[in-house]
Amino acid sequence: MHDKPRKSKELLVLQSLHPRMNLSLEEKQHFENLEKGYQGEITFYHQLKEYPFKHQLILYDLLLISNKTEFQVDSLLVRKNKIYLLEIKNFEGDFYIQQDKWYVASNGKEIRNPLLQLKRSEFLLQHLLQQWGYNVSIEPYIIFINPEFTLYQAPLHQPFIFRSQLNRFFKKLQASDLATTQKEKALTAKLVANHREHSSNERLPQYEYEQLEKGMVCSCCSGMLTYLNYKMTLCKKCGRQENLEAALMRNVREFHLLFPERKITLNAIYDWCKIISSKKTVRRILKNNLILIPRKKYSYYLFEK
Ligand SMILES: [Zn+2]
Interval 140-191: pLDDT, tens: 999 999 999 999 999 899 999 999 999 999 999 999 888 889 999 999 999 9
Distance 19 CA to ligand 1 centre (A): 11
Average pLDDT of the segment spanning 32-46: 97
Distance 241 CA to ligand 1 centre (A): 8
Average pLDDT of the segment spanning 275-288: 95
244-302 CATH fold: Arc Repressor Mutant, subunit A (1.10.10)
**Domain residue spans of the chain:** 9-193, 244-302
Per DSSP (E only), the strands in the chain are: 57-66, 69-79, 82-89, 93-98, 101-104, 110-111, 137-144, 149-152, 160-162, 225-227, 232-235, 241-243, 264-265, 291-293, 300-302
Residues forming a β-bridge with 288: none
Q: Which of 191, 206, 192 is nearest to 258 (CA)?
A: 206
Distance 292 CA to ligand 1 centre (A): 31
Where is pLDDT greater, at 54 or 89? 89
- Count other C-beta atoms under 10 Å from residue 144's C-beta: 26
Where residue 298 falls among pLDDT bands split at 50, 70, 90? confident
Q: What is the torsional sign of CA 269, 273, 277, 280?
A: negative
Share the mean pLDDT of the chain: 95
Distance 93 CA to ligand 1 centre (A): 29
Average pLDDT of the segment spanning 236-265: 96
Amino acid at 96: Y
Composition of the chain by helix, strand, coil, percent to 5: 35, 25, 40
Distance 39 CA to ligand 1 centre (A): 19
Amino acid at 145: I
d(CA 263, CA 112): 42
pLDDT value of position 90: 98
pLDDT per position as a tens digit, 215-250:
999 999 989 999 999 899 999 999 999 999 999 999
Distance 249 CA to ligand 1 centre (A): 16
Q: Are 159 and 143 in contact (CB under 8 A)?
A: no
Going by their DSSP bridges, the two strands 232-235 and 225-227 should be labelled as antiparallel
d(CA 252, CA 300): 13
Distance 224 CA to ligand 1 centre (A): 7
d(CA 147, CA 195): 31
Distance 240 CA to ligand 1 centre (A): 6
pLDDT value of position 102: 97
Distance 11 CA to ligand 1 centre (A): 19
Question: In Å, how far from its chain's centre is CA 31?
Answer: 12
Distance 15 CA to ligand 1 centre (A): 14
pLDDT per position as a tens digit, 56-96:
899 999 999 999 999 999 999 999 999 999 999 999 999 99
Please list all protein residues whose beta carbon sits less than 5 angstroms from ligand 1, which is an ion: 218, 220-221, 223, 235, 237-238, 240
pLDDT value of position 25: 96
Distance 155 CA to ligand 1 centre (A): 45
pLDDT value of position 305: 62
- Count other C-beta atoms under 10 Å from residue 280's C-beta: 11
